Structure 1
Amino acid sequence: MSKSISGFSKLSKTKKIEWIVNTYFSNSKEAKDIIKQYWNTNAKIQQLHDEFIENTITNYYLPLGVAPNFLINDKIYTIPMAIEESSVVAAASKAAKFWLDRGGFKTKVISTIKIGQVHFMYHGDYNKLKTFFKQVKPQLLNDTTSITKNMTARGGGVLDIELRNKTNEIPGYFQLHVSFETLDAMGANFINSCLEQFAKTFKNEAQSFNLFSDQEKQIDIVMSILSNYVPDCLVRAEVSCKVEDLSESNSISGEVFAHKFVQAVNIAEIEPYRAVTHNKGIMNGIDAVVLATGNDFRAIEAGVHAYASRQGRYSSLSHASITDGIFKFWIEIPLALGTVGGLTKLHPLVKLALELLHHPSAKELMQIVAVAGLAQNFAALRSLTTTGIQQGHMKMHLMNILNQFGANDTEKLALTEHFKSHTVSHSAVSEALQNLRLKD
């Protein structure tokens, strides 16, 4: 039976593991062996991994694959992708190869503004608060000079501070709504440090503002925090070609494919049940590159899905059209990314991934990540509107099923050949493997 423990964080790594395996596992030796099996043999690298988070007991590996042949703004990229799901890397690679001969992907960064907010409560005359804000705003900026000077010298920093009245939603609720430019840094620590200083100055200066009553001086700071919703940190990626150039075989014409494809996107634009799965496919590509480059995929996910709901209904992130015989497929998506700070200089594979991408700036990385999402979406919709999603996906999933059944190398080779012309399913693989073993 499990039990609580006091002072766990103060235990050594060895003692933590001893307590874990003895408390939770019937076979403590096997559990310990599995945990240690994933330690890095290089002690310095393992220590680095141990110090990324708290209470580390081992490493949790994800495959790092690459998708080559991405032509983005006339430059070839091989894109690193860290993901556990079968067929994602293969699908992205196939889409990249498809568009390589059709002009490639065109991208542009629309804006790079990030947002932070000081949330506070004020119960008094709103006109007095507006007057106070106008007076204190220069002081807010001045008091953060020590934090912002390096960022400002590079061309970034605080762009603006607004006072926002949210009392219609919550009585007495106001915000300092702050916009930032953080250049190649994702900027979370920079933004939060600025916001906390704004809050401190705002509250302190209120004490001496002569128009405030004693009650009005008691501004209550609720919290100061960046927002992962960044609708003004936008990037666009698109592909286009003549409709007839979409055809690769005699099985379906370019015109038929284009119209089915556009209809599929239109459905995702108006049907939330479809839109969620549609956008999940986009995020397969985006998250994989975000992870590989040491960025925060959870922040990206939260911001992207909020953006997909900005019109009051959850909708497709991508769009498609046919105009004058030209097929166009595009995405506009908010991506707050960084190529300096965080893990970018610490994790060896993150450094490798960024070098593979020619050491991109944050703007360049935004474009690469958006392309990965668009390519993944194109590949998925292409399958859905032609052969069906399962044919390709299950063939890629075949190796996972064979490994689950403990197939050896000879069996894998034989069954991979067998399922080139047979439908892959869990039961079909089980039956084929049993038949193969009976023959032996």
Structure 2
Amino acid sequence: MKNPKIVSGFSKKSKRGKLRWLVENFFKHPEEVARELKSFWYGDPQKQKIFDEFSENTITNFYMPYGVLPNLKINDEVYCVPMVIEESSVVAAASAAAKFWLNRGGFKTEVLTTKKVGQVHFDWKGKRKTLEALMPKIKQLIHTETSHITANMRKRGGGILDIELLDMSDLEPNYFQLQMTFETCDSMGANFINSVLEESARSLKQFIGSQEQLPAEERELTIIMAILSNYTPECLVRASVECPIEELGNFCDGDMPAEEFARKFEKALNIARIDTYRATTHNKGIFNGIDAVVIATGNDFRAVEACGHAYAARDGKYRSLSFAECKDGIFKFWLDIPLAVGTVGGLTALHPMAKRSLEMLGQPSAEELMQIIAATGLAQNFAAVRSLVTTGIQKGHMKMHLMNILNHLEATEKEVKEALVYFADKLVSFSSVREFIQLLRSTPEGMPLPLPIMIERKKS
């Protein structure tokens, strides 16, 4: 008997056909689900068509909150930064950090390098010195054979920067690679780099095959793959802040002296440098800020994350991406991170909200966007560590999460108002909010509210 959950020719079905098959086979209430999924379609059919063509087998859109981080001062320029993220308190925390540093010099950033990497991996049974002798001709050939691909990029000041032969046959039999570095200017450059690499691979194979002076087996070169690397340690940006330690007292919560806050903050960063368990969560907090801007600007957050985590483990141990130092009465906090992003091409030119994001940022170059993203990551990290070493992370996080809990409990407008008053100075948890809502609902209409609620109402 045919299994209805197995489908043939799914990609050839119309969008409505795909949707119909899906809801009829995987949902208990197909008509209700179909209406719900259609409700997320873009109102303008032409714009929806753009979304549909970003990927394959699309049936609807998945919405994410689009917020903004105001007052982010970077190199004396103030930005309003778009952030796409669903996690409660991230935008609020980054905003608080941005406001704190606004009158303390703001964030200082600089792009250290912008090189990107691609590789041609191949099998070859000859000796390294033979290939090394041929490398000048191979390099010239690659530049010539890829010139039709690199022409426009070269006009903008980019293109192939270097080509290096790597012998890795001691790790894998007969394994060599050409490691190529690129400058892609304002483009992230993935398609450009991969096109150059594939053309280079074809040229390399043909060239070696034509070298009649080589033994027959050495004229056989097998291309394994040609692909860019998302590890770009030489596409690096630095963001930093600093101020006198005594000025930290305005941001350390409660009665904690500024000196104690600075000492605990520095210690927390040192812990994240030596303990992988802590470093992982620490860096995740950095990427809360980074990913949100990367997504909002139509860039590849998966590539950025993969590169950042690899960079965090570059010395063989996974460590914090940020650093802190208290010296001579000055608090310094900084972040070095590789960021390969673009402001032209790809989704940056097609996604309507990505275009608006770049417009909001003043149509930045790729280097400027790198700096904006890094500063946002540092702002988010500063706010997170500040919470950890003072009040704890849950106080602020759960306050922001309160509305999510109330929505989950389907609270009415009146119940929401009561809850916001009651939990204004209390620890928020799912169970405590649920008990509060149940208490409200169990109070008959017209009857006095329970005493604890009346007390909180009077306070407000």
Instruction: Determine if the TM-score, normalized by the shorter chain, exceeds 0.5.
Output: yes
Give 5+ residue unaligned stretches, structure 2.
446-460
Give deviations 1:352-398, integer Å, cap 9, x for gaps.
11011011000000000001110110000000000000000000000
**SS at 1:110 equivalent:** strand
1:224-239 equivalence runs, <5 A: 224-239=226-241
Are residue 176 (structure 1) and residue 181 (structure 2) matched?
no
The alignment status of 1:430 with 2:434, answered yes or no, reads: yes
Residue equivalent to 1:209: 211
| CA 1:2–1:253: 2 relative to 1, 3 Å | farther
Q: Does 1:269 align with 2:273?
A: yes
1:103 equivalent in structure 2: 105
- Residue 70 of structure 1, CA deviation: 0.5
Matches within 5 A, 1:137-148: 137-148=139-150
Three-state SS of the structure 2 residue aligned to 1:116 is strand
User: Matched residues in 2 for 1:86 and 1:2: separation?
Assistant: 40
Q: 2: distance between equivalents of 1:162 and 1:421?
A: 61
Aligned partners of 1:62, 1:173: CA distance in 2, in Å?
44
Shift of 1:4: 1.3
Q: Deviations over 1:209-248 (max 9, x none)?
A: 1332110111000000000000000000000000001001
Residues 62-114 of structure 1, C-alpha deviations (whole Å, 9 max, x = no match): 00000101010001001100011110000110110011111100000000000
2:406 aligns with 402
Structure 1 pair 2–403 and aligned structure 2 pair: CA distance change class (3 A) = farther
Q: Superposed, which structure 2 residues align to 1:28-67 within 5 Å?
A: 28-67=30-69
Q: Deviations over 1:258-282 (max 9, x none)?
A: 0000000000000000000000000
- Tell me if the contact between 1:128 and 1:211 (Cα under 8 Å) persists in the aligned partners: no
Residues 168-177 or 270-279, more deviating: 168-177
Query: Which residue in the other structure is 1:115 paired with?
Result: 117
Report if aligned partners of 1:64, 1:83 keep a CA contact under 8 Å in 2: yes
Q: Which residue number in structure 2 is paired with residue 251 of structure 1?
A: 255
User: Does the CA-based 8 Å contact 1:229-1:302 persist in structure 2?
Assistant: yes
Please report the TM-score for the alignment, with normalisation by the length of structure 2: 0.94
Name the structure 2 match of 1:326.
330
Whether the 8 Å contact between 1:113 and 1:179 is mirrored in structure 2 is yes
Displacement of 1:2 = 5.2
SS of aligned partner of 2:424: coil
How many residue pairs get matched? 440
Q: State yes or no: 1:381 paired with 2:385.
A: yes
Q: Is 1:289 matched with 2:293? A: yes
> Counterparts of 1:414 and 1:359 in 2: how far apart (Å)?
44
Q: Is the 8 A contact 1:344 1:350 kept in 2?
A: yes
1:125 shift after superposition = 2.2
Are 1:360 and 2:373 matched, yes or no? no
- CA distance in 2: counterparts of 1:282 and 1:81, whole angstroms: 13
In structure 2, the partner of 1:242 is 244
Displacement of 1:124:
1.5
CA distance in 1, matches of 2:204, 2:357: 42
Q: Which residue of 15, 25, 32 corresponds with 1:13?
A: 15
Give the structure 2 partner of residue 345 of structure 1: 349
Moved more, 263-272 or 410-419: 410-419
Letter in 1 for 2:197: L
Which stretches of structure 1, 4 residues or more, deviate above 4 A after TM superposition?
A: none
Instruction: Name the residue aligned to 1:371.
Output: 375
Paired with 1:329 and 1:125, the residues of 2 have a C-alpha distance of: 49
User: What residue ranges of structure 1 are gaps of 5+ in the alignment?
Assistant: none
Amino acid at match of 1:298: R
* Superposed displacement of residue 351, structure 1: 0.7
Q: What secondary structure is seen at the aligned counterpart in 1 of 2:299?
A: coil
Structure 1 counterpart of 2:276, which letter?
P
Alpha-carbon distance in 2 for matches of 1:22, 1:424:
40
Deviation string 1:159-205 (CA, Å, 9 cap, x unpaired) is 01000111121111111000000000000000000001110000001
- One of 312, 319, 337 as aligned partner of 1:308: 312
CA distance in 2, matches of 1:185, 1:114: 11
Could you report, residue by residue, the CA deviation over 1:290-344 in whole angstroms, capped at 9, with x for unpaired residues? Answer: 0000000000010000000001000000000011110000000000000000011
TM-score for both structures, normalised by structure 1: 0.99
Does residue 390 (structure 1) correspond to residue 394 (structure 2)? The answer is yes
SS in 1 for 2:18: helix
Counterpart code for 1:71 = K
Shift, 1:414, TM fit: 1.1
Q: Which residue identity does 2:99 align to in structure 1?
A: K
Q: Which moved more, 1:47-56 or 1:279-288?
A: 47-56
